[in-house]
Homo-oligomer: A and B are copies of this chain.
Amino acid sequence: MTSKPPTARIRKSPEQVRSAVHQAVVDLLSDPGGAELTIPAIAQRAGVNHTSVYRRWGSREALLADVVTTRLERDWPLKDTGSLRGDLTAWVEAGVASIRTPEGRLLVRAVALSMPGTAEAQGERTQQFQRRIRAIERIRERAAARGEDAPPLEEILDQLIAPLYLRAIFGIDPPASGYPELLVDRLLGTPGGPSAPTVGRS
């Protein structure tokens, strides 16, 4: 009687390796036992050789960053609603929906985990940050193309992105309703009302 070969011995295509490794990261992040998130542990769970993981991603931080970027881009899609206010509200709505799920919270927390901690790695942190804000940059570009005056990136960072990240990190649920609209009103001012306080905006 022959048994199925163990998963680890099936030769996987590069795309299968990527998918298995990504899933293993998400599984280990979600592990109720608080499994250690090391490359050997990830490789074992994915049924691939840990040398392939090192070869492909180089470091745990780079792997986490790849998983996070891929998943968050899938889960926080970028809608074109025809206006800056609509685009930002839709983006925050997707973010709020995502951080209401355990996987979404884990992914945002993994962004922080994937940040290289040393002063020397500031270039890498900036690069990862720029990948995380690509969606916001596109929303600002579309606004400019429509002739709308979009707030500076740093204001969007402080007022829309920061609250979602902090809530995901600490597991603090956003208010049950109206939260995306509230954050966008704080940023852009209430529709028809006075603008919010700002610096450096023309």
Nearest opposing residue in chain B for A169, CB measure: B112
Copy number in this complex?
2
Given the complex, which residues of B lie within 8 Å of A31, measured CB to CB?
A: 118
Counting CB contacts under 8 A, is A20 at the interface? Answer: no
A192 part of interface (Cβ distance < 8 Å):
no
CB–CB B165/A169 < 8 A: yes
Q: Does A97 contact B (CB under 8 A)?
A: no
Mask: chain A, 155-187; 1 = CB below 8 Å from B; 0 = not: 001110111011101111001001000110110
Q: Chain B nearest CB: distance from A83 CB in Å?
A: 18
Contact residues in B for A69 (Cβ distance below 8 Å): none
The stretch from A4-12, A49-57, A120-128, A134-142 touching chain B is A120-128
Among candidates B157, B161, B194, B200, residue contacting A194 with C-beta atoms closer than 8 Å: B194
9 extra A-B contacts, CB within 8 A, seeds A129-B171, A158-B166: A30-B117, A34-B121, A115-B171, A157-B163, A159-B186, A175-B199, A182-B197, A185-B197, A189-B197
Instruction: Give chain B residues whose Cβ lies under 8 Å from the Cβ of A82.
Output: none
State A31–B167 Cα separation when bound (angstroms).
Answer: 29
List of 7 A-B pairs having minimum Cβ-Cβ separation, nearest first: A112-B112, A162-B162, A162-B166, A158-B163, A185-B197, A129-B170, A125-B171
Task: Decide: B34 and A116 in contact? CB cutoff 8 A.
Answer: yes
Measured between beta carbons, the chain B residues less than 8 angstroms from A197 are 182, 185-186, 189-190, 193, 196
In angstroms, Cα B119 to Cα A32, docked, is 7
Given known pairs A162-B165, A183-B158, the reply for A30 and B113 (CB within 8 Å) is no
In the assembly, what is the distance between CA of A129 and CA of B171, in Å?
A: 9
Bound complex: CA A77 to CA B167 (Å): 24
- Return the chain B residue nearest A178 by Cβ: B199
* Residue pair A154, B175 in contact (C-beta under 8 Å): yes
- Name which of A112, A116, A125 has the most chain B CB atoms within 10 A of its CB: A112
